[in-house]
């Protein structure tokens, strides 16, 4: 496994450097390297690291969300409050429902199977979007109107809606859930519990750090440990109590920034350093999950379905940002930033197939295809949009 880690680090750094030299997102290079190293291409990674890939990706995602939380101030959050709420559910639900209905016509799926597919594909990827937005906060691009904060906050909640509705449709298919309305009630409960547990954890950590003077490096590790336990809590209570744990992770960072701003700034610098390694792991391991052979089994119909879904999502973003303080260019940037898919699709794309859903192979193929199409397209679009659609704030 150590050899695989060495390969991941070296090729990850090299690919990031080369892609940035070509004025392309470094993340794109790492995703492509992951695909090539993975079991569906040259199969150069040790089986052991692939077995723990999900846990490593989760840990890297926790790191980036802690960074995000430590960078979201109350003032900026207040500026985007209403728009962020609308952005968190309107685009995703519109995309999921559109894919649901179109897939029943294109592929002859049942209503429930279409729902499973629709809301797997509909989830935006915080793992892809969040790093870009944090970079723009540091570069002060779009910060005059808190655009990166808007996307940071809404993208995380977008996943909660998509995964909850997907779970409801999967329950309907298996017969374990007869009322999708009851399942949908879990969405606000999940969000509230996630934020509440994150806030309590953040307050307890602040109190602990006030009483015990310890090095920032140890603080970083303690926070990371607590945040990881929070995400584990979601798994332990799955099916009993819904918890949006990743939202809770961001809340921990937000509370520390609110209560101890000086400490939060120092911790953010530490997490930036850890992220250099975590980023490589996250994107190469996401890439390694992509089965390019399965992806193209859905053919041109699959590509058409994905693009119809993206059109619906774009319309949803325009609806959500209507009447906000954003101009047309900035609203288009928000729509582009909502294109990338990767994390959720890689994590749950194969679940319907493993549970015996009749169209499981097709669902997996389109889920994988959505990563191949939208991750590069979204990353390139975000980079272009940051230079042409949003303003750089002057000091």
Would residue 76 count as lying in a domain? yes
E strand or H helix that includes residue 156? helix 147-174
Would residue 363 count as lying in a domain? yes
Would residue 328 count as lying in a domain? yes
How many independent structural domains does the chain possess?
A: 1
pLDDT of residue 351: 86
Q: What is the CATH number of the domain that holds 150?
A: 1.20.1530.20
pLDDT of residue 395: 62
pLDDT of residue 28: 86
Would residue 260 count as lying in a domain? yes
Would residue 349 count as lying in a domain? yes
Q: How far is CA 75 from the centre of its chain?
A: 24
Domain residues for the domain of 200 are 55-388
What does the alpha-carbon distance between residue 348 and residue 346 come to, in Å, rounded to a whole number? 6
Beta bridge partners, 141, equal 392
Run means of pLDDT, 10 residues per run, the chain, 395 residues: 94 94 88 92 92 89 92 85 93 97 95 95 91 92 94 90 87 70 76 93 96 93 96 76 85 95 93 93 88 82 96 98 95 97 85 89 91 93 95 80
Would residue 26 count as lying in a domain? no
Would residue 232 count as lying in a domain? yes
Would residue 39 count as lying in a domain? no
pLDDT of residue 8: 96
pLDDT of residue 224: 97
What does the alpha-carbon distance between residue 205 and residue 277 come to, in Å, rounded to a whole number? 25
pLDDT of residue 186: 77
Of 310, 315, 293, whose CA–CA distance to 369 is shortest?
293
pLDDT of residue 75: 85
What does the alpha-carbon distance between residue 105 and residue 209 come to, in Å, rounded to a whole number? 58
The reported pTM is: 0.88
């Amino acid at each position: 496994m150590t050899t695989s880690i060495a390969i991941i680090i070296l090729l990850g750094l090299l690919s990031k450097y080369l892609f940035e030299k070509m004025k392309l997102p470094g993340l794109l290079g790492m995703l492509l390297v992951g695909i090539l190293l993975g079991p569906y291409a040259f199969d150069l990674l040790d089986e052991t690291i692939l077995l723990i890939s999900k846990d490593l990706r989760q840990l890297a995602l926790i790191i980036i969300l802690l960074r995000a939380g430590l960078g979201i101030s109350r003032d900026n959050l207040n500026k985007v409050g209403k728009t962020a709420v609308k952005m968190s559910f309107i685009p995703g639900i519109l995309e999921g429902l559109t894919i649901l209905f179109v897939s029943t016509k294109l592929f002859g799926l049942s209503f429930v199977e279409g729902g499973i597919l629709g809301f797997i594909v509909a989830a935006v990827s915080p793992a892809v979007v969040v790093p870009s937005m944090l970079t723009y906060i540091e570069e002060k691009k779009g910060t005059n109107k808190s655009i990166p904060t808007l996307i940071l906050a809404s993208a995380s909640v977008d996943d909660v809606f998509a995964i909850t509705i997907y779970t409801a449709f999967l329950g309907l298919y298996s017969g374990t859930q007869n009322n999708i309305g009851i399942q949908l009630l879990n969405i606000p409960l999940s969000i509230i519990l996630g934020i509440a547990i994150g806030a309590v954890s953040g307050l307890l950590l602040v109190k602990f750090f006030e009483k015990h003077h310890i090095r920032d490096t140890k603080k970083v590790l303690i926070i990371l440990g607590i945040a990881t336990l929070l995400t584990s809590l979601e798994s332990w209570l799955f099916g009993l109590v819904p918890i949006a744990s990743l939202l809770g992770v961001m809340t921990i960072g937000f509370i520390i920034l609110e209560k101890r701003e000086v400490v939060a700034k120092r911790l953010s610098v530490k997490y930036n350093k850890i992220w250099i390694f975590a980023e490589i792991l996250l994107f190469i391991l996401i890439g390694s999950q992509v089965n390019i052979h399965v992806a193209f089994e859905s053919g041109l119909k699959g590509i058409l379905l994905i693009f119809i879904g993206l059109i619906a999502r774009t319309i949803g973003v325009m609806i959500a940002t209507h009447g906000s303080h954003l101009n047309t260019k900035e609203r288009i940037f928000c729509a582009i930033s909502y294109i990338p898919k990767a994390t959720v699709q890689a994590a749950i794309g194969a679940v319907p197939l493993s549970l015996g859903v009749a169209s499981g192979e097709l669902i997996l193929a389109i889920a994988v295809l959505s990563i191949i199409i939208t991750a590069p397209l979204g990353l390139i679009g975000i980079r272009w949009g940051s230079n042409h659609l949003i303003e750089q704030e002057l000091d």
